């Protein structure tokens, strides 16, 4: 694990779960493959981001869902890739050795259909150079009728607890917005051993071809991401921060970040890092512009480090209550 330096951090650098993040930006799972896709673009560099979360990985290889898998919506995107991946053994033995761990922090994304599968994939990544592990608890539990692990706090906690026993690396639990009470889920995951939280995963939606009267996505439903979900994501980050902040549990805020203002809003709401995914499809060189914008904001407001901005939201007083004269 690449620990954060003891010396004062540059303005946009931070320590996240003991890891040195050169920037508050994290590239989200499923949007950058296994860390190599955007390196083909001239001007893009992994050194511009604090971390890269690799594509979701299962125990065995998966082919994913039938097409169509991606569909653009107003201010967003639906996707139902279906966790297509070559399996954890291939990722650890063939892909990780090709990554430059001096450039940035690389974070595995662990998926599974059972608690045992989550634990086994986590154990395999524990015996690798990966810096941290993100747990995607939005996967369906095949032993419980397909109910997503992330939609039931007790089930989420079981997954986190099993993964905690399988690794000494930092664990980041990716919370689903498709549940009744995200604060309770966050609390359960923290108590089970999660070192950080990612808020939020995509929101389930669908698209229909009215002429054919058929769903456009081959899987019928898919995850909605992009600017359309930003207001929901901001609220969820704010809510989870009320639980995680007092305990020192950092949050990766994500959902519709496309410019500096978006990133700053998530940080003010309580995020220590900001995830970017769909925004990269709009502008592959977005990260460098956001870094520059955040540095300018900190300078204008007399802040020496981004940590001073985390959770700095000023809430209004009680409505209808006047000050005593």
Alpha helices by DSSP H, the chain = 88-90, 115-126, 153-166, 182-192, 230-244, 260-269, 279-282, 286-300
Model pLDDT, residue 101: 94
Does residue 217 register a pLDDT over 90? Answer: yes
The string of pLDDT tens digits covering residues 112-137 is 999 999 999 999 999 999 999 999 99
Mean pLDDT of the chain: 93
CB 171 within 8 A of CB 16: no
Model pLDDT, residue 39: 76
Does residue 323 register a pLDDT over 60? Answer: no
Worst-scoring range by mean pLDDT, 28-32, 64-68, 143-147, 242-246? Answer: 143-147
What's this model's pTM, rounded to 2 decimal places? 0.94
Say how far residue 321 (Cα) sits from the centre of its chain: 39
**pLDDT, mean of residues 293-301:** 98
Model pLDDT, residue 325: 43
**pLDDT, mean of residues 53-57:** 97
In the chain, DSSP finds a helix count (H) and a strand count (E) of: 8, 16
Label residue 312 by pLDDT band (50, 70, 90).
Answer: very high
Higher pLDDT, 75 or 44: 75
**Annotated domain spans of the chain:** 14-308
> Is-catalytic flag, 31?
no
Residue labelled with tokens 């154990």: 123
Label residue 8 by pLDDT band (50, 70, 90).
Answer: low
Does residue 322 register a pLDDT over 90? Answer: no
- CATH superfamily for 14-308 is Aldolase class I (3.20.20.70)
| Burial group, residue 321, by CB count within 10 angstroms (0-12, 13-18, 19+) | exposed
Does residue 33 register a pLDDT over 70? Answer: yes
Residue labelled with tokens 């939005």: 138
Extract long-range pairs of 183-189: CB within 8 Å, 24+ residues apart.
Answer: 183/239, 183/240, 183/242, 183/243, 184/153, 185/150, 185/153, 185/156, 186/240, 186/243, 186/244, 187/153, 187/243, 188/153, 188/154, 188/156, 188/157, 188/160, 189/137, 189/153, 189/156, 189/157, 189/160
**pLDDT, mean of residues 81-88:** 96
Label residue 141 by pLDDT band (50, 70, 90).
Answer: confident
Does residue 181 register a pLDDT over 90? Answer: yes
Handedness of CA 226, 227, 231, 234 (dihedral sign): positive
Contacts of 117 (CB under 8 A, 6+ apart): 58, 59
Label residue 228 by pLDDT band (50, 70, 90).
Answer: very high
Higher pLDDT, 47 or 255: 255
Model pLDDT, residue 7: 58
| Residue tagged active-site, from 111, 139, 189, 258 | 139
Label residue 6 by pLDDT band (50, 70, 90).
Answer: low
């Amino acid at each position: 694990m690449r620990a954060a330096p003891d010396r004062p951090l540059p303005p946009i650098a931070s320590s996240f779960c003991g890891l040195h993040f050169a920037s508050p930006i994290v590239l989200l799972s499923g949007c950058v493959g296994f860390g190599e896709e955007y390196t083909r673009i001239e001007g893009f560099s992994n050194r511009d981001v604090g971390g890269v979360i690799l594509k979701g990985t299962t125990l065995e290889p998966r082919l994913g869902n039938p097409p169509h898998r991606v569909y653009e919506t107003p201010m967003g995107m639906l996707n139902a890739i279906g966790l297509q991946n070559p399996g954890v053994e291939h990722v650890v033995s063939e892909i990780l050795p090709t990554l430059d761990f001096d450039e940035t922090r690389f974070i595995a994304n662990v998926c599974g259909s059972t608690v045992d599968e989550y634990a086994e994939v986590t154990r395999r990544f524990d015996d690798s150079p990966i810096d941290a592990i993100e747990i995607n608890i939005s996967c369906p539990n095949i032993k419980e009728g397909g109910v997503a692990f992330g939609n039931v706090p007790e089930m989420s906690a079981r997954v986190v607890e099993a993964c905690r026993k399988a690794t000494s690396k930092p664990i980041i639990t990716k919370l689903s917005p498709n549940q009744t009470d995200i604060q309770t889920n966050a609390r359960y995951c923290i108590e089970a051993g999660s070192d950080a939280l990612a808020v939020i995963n995509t929101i389930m939606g669908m698209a229909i071809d009215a002429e054919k009267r058929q769903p456009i996505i081959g899987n019928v439903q898919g995850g909605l991401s992009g600017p359309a979900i930003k207001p929901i994501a901001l609220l969820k980050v704010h809510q989870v921060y009320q639980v995680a902040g007092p305990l020192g549990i950092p949050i990766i805020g994500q959902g519709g970040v496309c410019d500096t203002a978006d990133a700053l809003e998530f940080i003010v709401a309580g995020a220590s890092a900001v995830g970017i995914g769909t925004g990269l499809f709009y502008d592959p060189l977005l990260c460098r512009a956001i870094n520059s914008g955040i540095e300018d904001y900190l300078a204008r407001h007399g802040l020496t480090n981004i940590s001073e901005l985390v959770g700095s939201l000023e809430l209004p007083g009680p409505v209808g209550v006047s000050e005593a004269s």
